Structure 1
Amino acid sequence: MNNILLKYMENRFQSKILDPKQGIFCEGPVVTISRECGCTALNIANMMAEKLTAKTGNKWTCLTKEILERSAKELNLDPVKIEYVFNSKEKSTWDEILGALSSKYYQSDRKIKKTIAEVVKGFAAKGNCIIIGRGGVVLTQDIERSFHIKLQAPLDWRANQLQKIYNLSTNEMIKYANEIDKKRAILRNYFNKEPLPNTVFDVIYNSKKLMDEHIVDTSINLMELKGVLGKQIVMG
């Protein structure tokens, strides 16, 4: 199933962008979801994709690991080899030198991040997708038909949610949540060139106070009001 989905997304990516000769403008629509650690986004994204597919008549897709897999394929690398970037780790100078000397498939941190950015923008330009994390909120700001969501909640509540998954102490989960939040911010800030302000988001939800379905329904309503779901423009 994963291979079928990846193949489908590859075909969409390859035919992705604007052909000036044809005069077709087809960027978006795209939704990005950023979240604090402990605020689950996948259920919201899947529910939103299902409802948007029914509403628009176009197939909507959730993207998270597909971005990693597609980026790795573009670089001719195993996904494991670039996953460290999403964990906000960097190679040391010595690692860079050894890697360059020992492998013809070596790629620098900068090249990997550049490829990730291109993949995210490619998927977003084709449209009808919901991007979870991966710096999507920064990389799609220039797409007019875009909608950007942030999920947040009190730290103690998020730690409690994480305990249901990891079965560790509250203090351990608080420490873990803070570490993950910092790592995610590092990647976003790298693409943004500076700390990312909350003003880039269209809406910020408190996951503690709202049910997933309420978040989805409210977001779709706001997308309609904003014109994100409007018809694509064909020029010429």
Structure 2
Amino acid sequence: MNNILLKYMESRFQSKIIDPRRGVFCEGPVVTISRECGCTAINIANMMAEKLTLKTGNKWTCLTKEILEQSAKELNLAPEKIEYVFNSKEKSTWDEILAALSSKYYQSDRKIKKTISDVVRAFASKGNCIIIGRGGVVLTQNIERSFHIKLHAPLEWRAAQLQEIYKLSTNEMLSYAKEIDKKREILRNYFNKEPLSNTVFDVIYNSKNLSDEMIAEASIHMMEMKGVLGKHIVMR
């Protein structure tokens, strides 16, 4: 009984965000970072989370593998069973049939992608998070208190960054970068239902010419100017 009452009180008095210009409840704030292969986002995201936590007084978190893990949990599957979706692979009809017959926990590609989109939207709606990839830019477009970043750079520069990690040839890294870029584009386009335009981003940075610190600082400044952080918290 006490647990039921506690859950009700938590739900009833959960903080909501109101936009003073419109007098309506808003979700967020949320940041999404899309990137071309070879443009590292995690350092920027961690810097932004730390700075935004200090600035707002609310704990900000970076989300990457957490989306995969929560989606798998919702589907009652191991994370590795759905990871192929993020690699833009699809089961053949025959694979779907075999999987359905062999496992009572079978889930279709469509169900998995629907769950991923629901999980991303849930994290974004709750706010105070930075979502790296995972189709986040598409799935959070309807959230007013959102800020969307894209990192890009010349292909040759990106291949050189990858060489430092994987110790493979330039040609191998050029091919790898192109392949990963294509896979990420396929996932974004699936959620968007059509090819994604750069106009969905608030800002696009050239990672070759700008440091992680510069990108993090500039992004937070623009978030403030856009009003992403400047709303009033009220009780429902």
Calculate the TM-score normalised by the size of structure 2: 0.89
Q: Is the 8 A contact 2:15 2:234 kept in 1?
A: no
Q: Is the 8 A contact 1:17 1:122 kept in 2?
A: no
Give, in whole Å, the separation in 2 of the partners of 1:194 and 1:232: 35
Q: Which residue of 1 aligns with 2:77?
A: 77
SS in 2 for 1:44: helix
Q: Which runs of 5+ in 1 are unaligned?
A: 1-13
Q: Which residue of 2 aligns with 1:186?
A: 186
- Provide, for residues 10-64 of structure 1, a one-character-per-residue CA deviation record: whole Å limited to 9, x for no partner: xxxx97998xxxx983510000000000000000000000000000000000000
Give, in whole Å, the separation in 1 of the partners of 2:134 and 2:91: 19
Larger radius of gyration: 2
2:235 aligned with 1:230: no
SS in 1 for 2:213: helix
The AA in structure 1 aligned to 2:175 is K
Q: Let me know the Cα RMSD of the aligned residues.
A: 1.9
SS in 2 for 1:230: coil
Q: Which residue of 1 aligns with 2:7?
A: none
Give, in whole Å, the separation in 1 of the partners of 2:232 and 2:109: 36
Calculate the TM-score normalised by the size of structure 1: 0.89
Number of matched residues? 219
SS in 2 for 1:62: strand
Give, in whole Å, the separation in 2 of the partners of 1:87 and 1:47: 27
SS in 2 for 1:125: helix
Higher strand share: 2
Give, in whole Å, the separation in 2 of the partners of 1:122 and 1:199: 24
Identity %: 83
Q: Is the 8 A contact 1:63 1:129 kept in 2?
A: yes
Give, in whole Å, the separation in 2 of the partners of 1:17 and 1:198: 33
Q: Is the 8 A contact 1:17 1:126 kept in 2?
A: no
| Residues 1-236 of structure 1 aligned to structure 2 (within 5 Å) | 25-232=25-232, 234=234
SS in 1 for 2:231: coil
Q: Is the 8 A contact 2:26 2:144 kept in 1?
A: no
- Provide, for residues 147-193 of structure 1, a one-character-per-residue CA deviation record: whole Å limited to 9, x for no partner: 00000000000000000000001010000000000000000000000
Give, in whole Å, the separation in 1 of the partners of 2:74 and 2:196: 28
Give, in whole Å, the separation in 1 of the partners of 2:165 and 2:36: 16
Instruction: For residue 123 of structure 1, report the CA deviation from its aligned partner.
Output: 0.1
Instruction: For residue 101 of structure 1, report the CA deviation from its aligned partner.
Output: 1.1
SS in 2 for 1:147: strand
SS in 1 for 2:25: coil
Instruction: For residue 231 of structure 1, report the CA deviation from its aligned partner.
Output: 2.4
Runs of 4+ in 1 over 3 A off after TM superposition: 14-18, 232-236
The AA in structure 1 aligned to 2:173 is M
